[in-house]
Structure 1
Amino acid sequence: MRKNFYKKPVKFKNQNYEKLHKHYHDVLNALYGDPHFPPTSSSIGSSDAGSIKWNRPGEICSFPCLYAEQVSSKSVIAGRMSSNWIVSALSVLATVGELYHKVIPEYRQQEWDPENNNYAGIFHFRFWRFGQWVDVVVDDLLPTCDNELLFTQSSVQNEFWIPLVEKAYAKLHGSYEALADGHLADALVDFTGGVSETLDLKANDYNEQEDKHSILFEKLLEEFKDHSVMCSVITISSPSQMGKRNEMGLSQGHAYAITFVKKVKMGETSLRKLFRGRESFPMVRLRDPRGDGRMSGTESRSSNVEQNGYAYSTSQLTRLCSKNREWSRIKDTERERLGLTLDHDGEFCTCLTSRRRRKKL
């Protein structure tokens, strides 16, 4: 490990959370307002922000909290002005406790506590930037319209770690609008302090070449064993494709977290008919961070069915990944015995085979 990984975080804008909290809570007995990221259109980054009102969590709901019960990627949902890659990054972050606890330091002390009355409208979060952790202080004034949050938020109405982390990240970049053109890999580096590596499966011909396909799986397997954070994204050629589902029901431009990489041994199973001449097959389990059956944007399920001709949930994609009848006939008990289990809503398994081999199945 690098020695500077353990250095104290650098204070962004030279703002000291402990001193500011003590001054506002103990001396002024007032709620903090951040002069470096004020509740104005400059923080949004757009001049057309006249209808936006900045509210504190206590004005949005009763009994606000940082965390509501168990943190889950399913709770991360997009607001009308969210950047999709931020939604994906926060969804991935929510699945790894040791990571979001690093981004949200002293999370228990920052929690709203009616008994200790420690609340002062100020929070701080940490991001890895240019080889060091940076501590970013924010107030909890959040942009709303008709008392609804405009950016990324929790599906639990009184949970606010998601919009507060996003606000701190927007402050680090200069404005919310500055996050629009970001990349998922960059956010994951900022959230973890790790090093990113991007593999373009199409450009590197992983789909067609069986030898490259095997190398890819072994790499995924190794990284999974090392507890690396891995995601898969269907690339898009234009912004209009973002969030639209392809013929398999997968959201284009959105990140799917890889939650499981494994060689599944067939033994005496019905899969022998599907994978003739093989003792095992490579399996990858993916998870839709938006949960099971969610549609993109404001589209309803019925409208998607009418327009795209499909009506199935994300978990059903396990059976849809192959058109072979034998695959669809595998019983749930057999899947469980083979280790093809789905631990969360929105998960599905796919066999990592080349396109040429899939055509034969």
Structure 2
Amino acid sequence: MPPPGVCMNIINARRKKDGYGTTVNPEKFLNQDFQQLKQYCLIRRVRFVDDMFPPDRNSIGEGLLSSTDMARVVWLRPGKLVPNPSFTVDGVSRFDFGQGLVGNCWFLASIGALTFQTHIFEQVVPLQQRYEEDYCGLFHFKFWRFGRWVDVVIDDKLPTIDGRLIFVHSTDPTEFWPALLEKAYAKVCGSYADMNAGTPAEAMVDFTGGVHVCVQLQTPPPNLWELMCRAGQSKSLMGCGTPQGKTSENTVLPNGLVQGHAYTVTGVKQVMSQGTPVNLVRVWNPWGQGEWKGDWSDKSPFWQTVSPEDREMCLSVADDGEFWMTLEDFCRFYSDLDICCLCPDFLDGTSSCHWKTSFYDGRWVAGTTAGGCMNNLESFWTNPQYRVTVEKLFGECSAKQGENSMLMSLMQKPDKRNRRLVQNLHIGFSIFKLTKEVSSILTQSLGTV
């Protein structure tokens, strides 16, 4: 094994299109094979019951329900709730569902963003699943987890009280993809309770395996509007959150916004109002109701100052949780904006120049490769080191971008299955420019890397 600090020859984890751990060939979460389980159930004519995420109180988790309510929970299949259940009804939309008892607005806000991107949505939610044919109570969904896509199998027993779903529920009571998707993600997190509290970025990355950028809206970049427009054009997922208040969570403010709450950014548009351009942001509340009451809200008189075409295109006065506000108000009342895309095209506005991606898997080990931060100069050099080459651009890409670009992110893998038990450690990385002279010296002293 090389000594601490050596630029180790780490395996490049960029995978082939048909490789293991991709959307085409995902890993089997908890070693459960969807096709084998389905064939077994169809041949035996039985309905699947998931012993890895059983219909009991452990799968609900602690702290969500009182002991009295927990005793009232009955796990029912959709066929016991409605006469003719369906996986989807008339396609999928952000207006299909509303939040239940678990505080997972961050997850539902991400689903709202996901419904805009059909290709990505169908990677996560296989739409060929049906209640009408080959039904055996078995469903599956795919998530990107720390570098690999995993296929998550569930049964369709859902927790209810008095015959009503206690977590996410659909606007159409016969549609069940939202509740089943939530259950699959709860299984990945460890329980429904483990989904309580989070940020849209977490779920958006799990839905895409893409690049995440967080913008602090109290000090927004000068090109924020252009960045959001490019993100919309590049089929990105966008979420945002309001600041935590001094009072209890989920307090609805006089302006209609909810404190400490996650929302979805569903659109951006510039309109002309009395000859002046106005930059508007469209936002959606995953509760499915409750909207902004300020300027450019549904009943705002400002809508009478735009063209009839813009008013017809943008305005909906239904209390569906979706509303418009100016970019200035958006920055004033929201704390952060999360943008997640399969490729970081939205950063530089290019779509014809494709980025190359690499994934490296490593760890810090106490006493050997955990050298601390730059304040610990005597041991900092023992941290794992990886050598990255930023290749020269050619042709059209070189003319468009001018300089080479690199985007790097660091992700911490959990050491426990239950999300709420994971302890996030303080980790980070530093980037240094390696000159040809230093590279040559290192190569000669440490061997070919």
TM-score scaled by length of structure 1: 0.75
Show the counterpart of 2:37: 20
Larger Rg: 2
Task: Using the TM superposition, give the Cα deviation of residue 197 of structure 1 relative to its aligned residue in structure 2, in angstroms.
Answer: 1.7
Show the counterpart of 2:101: 80
Show the counterpart of 1:333: 308
User: Residues 83 and 284 from structure 1, CA distance in 2 versus in 1: closer, same or farther, beyond 3 angstroms?
Assistant: closer
Question: 1:120 and 1:328 mapped to 2: Cα distance?
Answer: 51
User: Residues 355 and 158 from structure 1, CA distance in 2 versus in 1: closer, same or farther, beyond 3 angstroms?
Assistant: closer
Question: Could you report, residue by residue, the CA deviation over 1:321-355 in whole angstroms, capped at 9, with x for unpaired residues?
Answer: 999x8x46515516449x75569954433332489
Count of paired positions: 309
Show the counterpart of 1:223: 231
Show the counterpart of 2:327: 352
Does the 8 A contact of 1:53 with 1:143 survive in 2? yes
- Secondary structure at the counterpart of residue 228 of structure 2: helix
Task: Using the TM superposition, give the Cα deviation of residue 245 of structure 1 relative to its aligned residue in structure 2, in angstroms.
Answer: 2.5
Task: Using the TM superposition, give the Cα deviation of residue 86 of structure 1 relative to its aligned residue in structure 2, in angstroms.
Answer: 2.5
Question: 1:336 and 1:215 mapped to 2: Cα distance?
Answer: 26
Show the counterpart of 1:319: 296
Show the counterpart of 1:169: 185
Show the counterpart of 1:189: 205
Does the 8 A contact of 2:105 with 2:261 survive in 1? yes
Q: What letter is aligned with 1:282? A: N
Question: 2:50 and 2:329 mapped to 1: Cα distance?
Answer: 53
Task: Using the TM superposition, give the Cα deviation of residue 52 of structure 1 relative to its aligned residue in structure 2, in angstroms.
Answer: 1.2
- Secondary structure at the counterpart of residue 197 of structure 1: strand
Question: 2:296 and 2:102 mapped to 1: Cα distance?
Answer: 34
Question: 2:247 and 2:329 mapped to 1: Cα distance?
Answer: 29
Tell whether 2:37 aligns with 1:37. no
Question: 1:96 and 1:355 mapped to 2: Cα distance?
Answer: 23
Does the 8 A contact of 1:89 with 1:184 survive in 2? yes
Question: Could you report, residue by residue, the CA deviation over 1:19-49 in whole angstroms, capped at 9, with x for unpaired residues?
Answer: 10110111x2111111111111111112833
Tell whether 2:249 aligns with 1:245. no
Question: 1:356 and 1:221 mapped to 2: Cα distance?
Answer: 15
The 5 Å alignment of 1:294-313 reads 294-295=289-290
User: Residues 82 and 157 from structure 1, CA distance in 2 versus in 1: closer, same or farther, beyond 3 angstroms?
Assistant: farther
Tell whether 2:79 aligns with 1:58. yes
Q: What letter is aligned with 1:352? A: L
Question: Could you report, residue by residue, the CA deviation over 1:117-172 in whole angstroms, capped at 9, with x for unpaired residues?
Answer: 40001111100001111001111111111111111121211111111111111111
Which range is displaced more, 117-126 or 39-48? 39-48
Tell whether 2:264 aligns with 1:257. yes
User: Residues 50 and 99 from structure 1, CA distance in 2 versus in 1: closer, same or farther, beyond 3 angstroms?
Assistant: same
Does the 8 A contact of 1:64 with 1:160 survive in 2? yes
Show the counterpart of 1:153: 169
Higher RCO structure, 1 or 2 (CA under 8 Å, sep 6+): 2
Question: Could you report, residue by residue, the CA deviation over 1:163-212 in whole angstroms, capped at 9, with x for unpaired residues?
Answer: 1111111111111111113322101111122122222212xx23xxxxx4
Does the 8 A contact of 2:102 with 2:192 survive in 1? no
Question: 1:356 and 1:119 mapped to 2: Cα distance?
Answer: 48
Does the 8 A contact of 1:321 with 1:350 survive in 2? no
Does the 8 A contact of 2:114 with 2:237 survive in 1? no
- Secondary structure at the counterpart of residue 202 of structure 2: helix
Unaligned runs of 5+ in 1: 207-211, 273-279, 296-312
Which range is displaced more, 159-168 or 250-259? 250-259
Show the counterpart of 1:233: 241
Q: What letter is aligned with 1:3? A: R
**Runs of 4+ that moved beyond 6 A:** 354-357
User: Residues 173 and 354 from structure 1, CA distance in 2 versus in 1: closer, same or farther, beyond 3 angstroms?
Assistant: closer
Show the counterpart of 1:129: 145
Show the counterpart of 2:91: 70
Percent identity over paired residues: 33
Does the 8 A contact of 2:85 with 2:131 survive in 1? yes
Does the 8 A contact of 2:97 with 2:169 survive in 1? yes
TM-score scaled by length of structure 2: 0.62
Show the counterpart of 2:274: 270
Does the 8 A contact of 1:127 with 1:190 survive in 2? yes
Does the 8 A contact of 2:274 with 2:306 survive in 1? no
Show the counterpart of 2:353: none
Question: 2:150 and 2:331 mapped to 1: Cα distance?
Answer: 47
Question: 1:72 and 1:93 mapped to 2: Cα distance?
Answer: 9
1:288 to 285, 290, 300: 285
Question: 2:184 and 2:98 mapped to 1: Cα distance?
Answer: 18
- Secondary structure at the counterpart of residue 240 of structure 2: strand
Question: 2:152 and 2:49 mapped to 1: Cα distance?
Answer: 14
Unaligned runs of 5+ in 2: 1-12, 333-449
Question: 2:16 and 2:75 mapped to 1: Cα distance?
Answer: 37
Q: What letter is aligned with 1:223? A: A
